[in-house]
A and B are shown apart, each in its own frame.
Chain A
Amino acid sequence: MEPTKFDAVVAGAGPAGCAAAYALAKAGLEVLVIERGKFPGAKNMFGGMLCGSVLAQLIPNFWEEAPLERYITRHVITFLSREDSFSIDFQSPSFGKPPYNGYSVLRAKFDKWLAGKVEEAGAIIVPGLLVEDLLWDGNQVVGVKAGGEDFPASVVIAADGVNSLLAQKAGLAEELSTEYVSLGVKELIQLPSEIIQERFNLEDDEGVTQLFDGFCTRGMHGGGFLYTNKESLSLGIVIQLSALRRMGVKPADLLEEFKSHPGVRNLIKGGTVEEYSAHLVPNAGINKVPMLYKDGFLVVGDAAGLVLTTGITLDGASFAFASGMAAAETVKLAKQNGDPSRKTLCNYEKLLKESFVLRDLETFKHSQFFLDNPRLYTTYPELICNLSRGLFTNDGKPRKRLWQLARTEMGRQKLSILHVAVDGFLGRRAI
């Protein structure tokens, strides 16, 4: 007997794969999702915040049933020097009303729920199975090979994440270079919810995101992060892999160092570590987005490098949902036309160009160049911290005006007005 031919086989049950499969199944198409994890979500980790507006287009009011941790009403950015810290703190109760602005989420739980919705919609999900290869008919992808079996499909959607071996096998993506990915390492730290609320000035289900710039990366391109969950904190650092490679520092040591910083250690005091995780994040933006389609084949989410990194925003999930949905639209069109070749699938790229996905990446195309500037991780955070220290110091000596303090500190940091002007110009263009 011939094996069933699916309208689409999706490799990977993360946000991108699930969004594609959900939309296709809802439209009545035959969809198979193959997930290498023991359960959907088992291999997935991210910093912590999910923006819900895109998912709400697919599953309206999803926040009423999804396993969300806290809705984020407070955003803090903290600059660190060796011992000191300086924070910018924004809090808005309006972020705490439906449809909410963003949620902290634990991926092992959230992705499992999302995959459940996909099954409810009528798709088949097979966990614990690794897609090993593509099936070809000439230049056309006609299915996948997994666990030694063939799964024929009109279209294969590669949602296999940042190390997309399928996009490489399809000849669309090159091997990733260490400059274009960052390594995130994270600890899940258990803390009672009352302590979290008191410590972070939050009401019931409200949450905070805190991003750290400066000493925590020892000058490397990257930063630290903290997200509050219901009864835990997600704490970690993200560092450009090429910088880590050059510096010869162990990521696990950096994380311990970050945890012991005076500006951090009291935030996690009394907590118990429950899990230690690591994951790569694509960070090249528009400059390294591969060819997104070929005959019978589409690449979505992290696999296509669709992640926005501006230094302040780090969003992959919205891009995963949106690209998955665009892929589903395109596969529906292919089914209608009876043509899964490039001629129809090029519609996918067109949809991404029209939506925020490729437009945001285009808007922030200079971000990576800007963020490669080491002054952002050494000079400026130190300057801000030292300047604040000068401002608040009472040592019985004659006081100086802010501008005098700034000039002295700039001299100490060997920072000229020209540096500031150039960085300001690049920053204006980049973020």
Chain B
Amino acid sequence: MNSMSLEDKLALNKYDIDEELHISVNEDICRTCRNRVCLHICPAECFKLLGEKITYSYEGCLECGSCRLACSKGAINWTYPRGGFGIAYQYG
């Protein structure tokens, strides 16, 4: 089986994307953070480094909650999306 990009994998999943964000970061804390665990811990790679700035997307979030626990600075505000929105596994 050929290796597959994460974008292609996430594109297979079914989502009902909310307009309301369920992830946000505290940019003041992120600016001073050197570990930047969020950049690798997220299985959907929702966090990216753009220049010196941490950017994030919420659309591909698999709602595992790893980012919230792994960020020791408490800079990530992750919560569940509103009811009915977000990932909808077809197999699970």
The residues of A with any CB-CB pair to B shorter than 8 Å are: 36-39, 41-46, 106-109, 111, 127-130, 146-147, 162-163, 165, 175-178, 181, 183, 185, 187-189, 232, 241, 244-245, 248-252, 256, 259-260, 265, 268-271, 273-280
Measured in the bound complex, the distance between the Cα atoms of B83 and A39 in whole Å is 10
By a CB distance below 8 angstroms, the chain B residues around A183 are: 41, 43, 64, 66
User: Are A278 and B62 interface neighbours, CB within 8 A?
Assistant: yes
Measured in the bound complex, the distance between the Cα atoms of B89 and A36 in whole Å is 13
User: Are A181 and B12 interface neighbours, CB within 8 A?
Assistant: no
User: Are B12 and A280 interface neighbours, CB within 8 A?
Assistant: no
By a CB distance below 8 angstroms, the chain B residues around A107 are: 89, 91-92
Contact of B12 among A38, A147, A271, A276 (CB under 8 A): A276
Measured in the bound complex, the distance between the Cα atoms of B92 and A43 in whole Å is 8
B84 at the interface (CB under 8 A from A): yes
Q: What are 8 A-B pairs at a CB distance below 8 A?
A: A42-B88, A43-B87, A108-B92, A130-B81, A181-B69, A250-B43, A275-B92, A280-B69
User: Are A129 and B84 interface neighbours, CB within 8 A?
Assistant: yes
By a CB distance below 8 angstroms, the chain A residues around B68 are: 163
B contact face: mostly helix, strand, loop, or mixed:
loop
Measured in the bound complex, the distance between the Cα atoms of B41 and A27 in whole Å is 45
Besides A146-B83, A252-B9, 17 new A-B residue pairs in contact (Cβ under 8 A), listed by A number: A36-B80, A38-B16, A38-B85, A42-B87, A46-B92, A107-B92, A129-B83, A187-B9, A241-B69, A244-B41, A248-B40, A250-B40, A260-B3, A277-B13, A277-B91, A277-B92, A279-B64
Q: Nearest residue in B to A269 (C-beta to C-beta)?
A: B1
Contact of A45 among B10, B41, B83, B92 (CB under 8 A): B92
A-B contact count (CB 8 A): 140
Query: Given the known A-B contacts A108-B92, A248-B40, are A276 and B84 also in contact in the complex, defined by CB atoms under 8 Å?
Result: no
By a CB distance below 8 angstroms, the chain A residues around B82 are: 130
Which residues of chain B in 48-67 are interfacial with respect to chain A, using CB atoms and an 8 Å cutoff? 62-66
B32 at the interface (CB under 8 A from A): no
Residue among B6, B37, B68, B80 having the largest count of chain A Cβ atoms under 10 Å: B80
User: Are B84 and A44 interface neighbours, CB within 8 A?
Assistant: no
User: Are A245 and B70 interface neighbours, CB within 8 A?
Assistant: yes
In the assembled complex, the CB of A105 is this many whole angstroms from the nearest CB of chain B, namely 9
User: Are B69 and A178 interface neighbours, CB within 8 A?
Assistant: yes
User: Are A256 and B3 interface neighbours, CB within 8 A?
Assistant: yes
Measured in the bound complex, the distance between the Cα atoms of B1 and A251 in whole Å is 18
Contact of A275 among B16, B81, B91 (CB under 8 A): B91
B23 at the interface (CB under 8 A from A): no
User: Are A252 and B43 interface neighbours, CB within 8 A?
Assistant: yes
Contact of B91 among A108, A245, A251, A260 (CB under 8 A): A108
Measured in the bound complex, the distance between the Cα atoms of B70 and A222 in whole Å is 17
In the assembled complex, the CB of A179 is this many whole angstroms from the nearest CB of chain B, namely 10
User: Are A275 and B83 interface neighbours, CB within 8 A?
Assistant: no
Q: Nearest residue in B to A188 (C-beta to C-beta)?
A: B91
In the assembled complex, the CB of A114 is this many whole angstroms from the nearest CB of chain B, namely 12
B75 at the interface (CB under 8 A from A): no
